[in-house]
Copies of this chain bind each other. A is one copy, B any other.
């Protein structure tokens, strides 16, 4: 037990296998297959199933789950290291059974669902046979639950849901949606909201449009559903967890997810970094390769420092979660990770893009999507400002105001105290001179 910056050799072997497997077998899928959420596409099944089998054989399938659901109980540090590999490829999370939002949805059904809910919704989700959506953010309230207005009212054996949600990722391919709605407007949002499972096709559930992240391309479909609920009726047993328990469930869902997200972001950043270095060596200018120019070298050096520092912060946070087993004790660390994440991605990608010249900004390279992804990260799951404020508030708890700070207090006060304390010694010493 002492500072250590590497994992145990056995797990490292697994990581090495995953690393090669993702590079050789999974990354190419990003270049030939479409949207991983589209379970209906027969090409997906044909190509992906055999790969998923290999993952299962190594014990890495859905390994973030609790052991009773088939997971390995790895803890957040190990999961973080795995996600650092999976983040390189759009398809890797599907191949490894941890594609958001399905993975998070599976977790909360496993933890809070009834046996019937588990049978009907959890198992096919775990098997990758269906996909799902998570419907929380509202057009007017962003990600702040205290501003949500979508309402569910009990009517006999049913709940009737009305309202609007958007950025419900993957809604168009989802077999069901988990929606968060106000059930008791008299109490605070933290106690007055509940979660419901709404099967696709339920009357009144409408996809107004599918919003994309990116430049405005009218007619181009995005993947974030803007959903309207008009008198949507679900049976009473489609309540997920307790009535009024939605906020607590939502927090659970975030748990390690933010760490995994951060490590997948690092994977993206590193891809951009690798491409930047390759470009710097490959591109010739009048005076040699770009890599010879000081300005290029500064970009590379700054990027590496930023990536490495952020990565260590994420891993330390994962380690703190494993150690405390209580997310409340690492709230400030998680907030710090969330606040720092978009900037690292943005800054490194911007430099990599720039070093690629016109090619970099073109749609032949992945940088534009990454750069916009950084902006999306700075908003999703709460804007950066909110996380910085959370962090500062937690930090300030460890301090107290200083009485009479100035002019009588603080440094001058301490100086006076120190002088009084040593008055004798100082005098004696001088006396001895």
Contacts and interface: CB of A to CB of B under 8 A. Distances in A.
A407 B364 CA distance: 10
Q: Give the secondary structure class of A's interface.
A: helix
Given A212-B363, A393-B297, A5 B3 contact: yes
Given A47-B429, A216-B363, A300 B396 contact: yes
Contact of A383 (B301, B357, B401, B419): B357
A282 B413 CA distance: 15
Interface stretch (A96-104, A199-207, A254-262, A313-321): A313-321
Identical copies in the complex: 4
Nearest to A213: B361
Interface of A: 1-9, 11, 28-29, 31-32, 42-43, 45-47, 77, 137, 139-140, 142, 144, 146-147, 164, 166-167, 208, 211-217, 220, 222, 224, 226, 274-275, 277-286, 289, 291, 293-298, 300-302, 304-305, 308-310, 312-313, 315-316, 319-320, 332, 335-336, 339-340, 350, 353-354, 357-366, 368-369, 371-372, 375-376, 378-380, 383-385, 387-389, 391-393, 395-396, 398-402, 405-407, 410-412, 414-415, 417-419, 421-422, 425-426, 428-430, 432-433
Given A211-B363, A298-B388, 11 more contacts: A1-B9, A5-B319, A43-B429, A147-B286, A166-B358, A214-B215, A277-B395, A283-B405, A360-B375, A361-B376, A371-B372
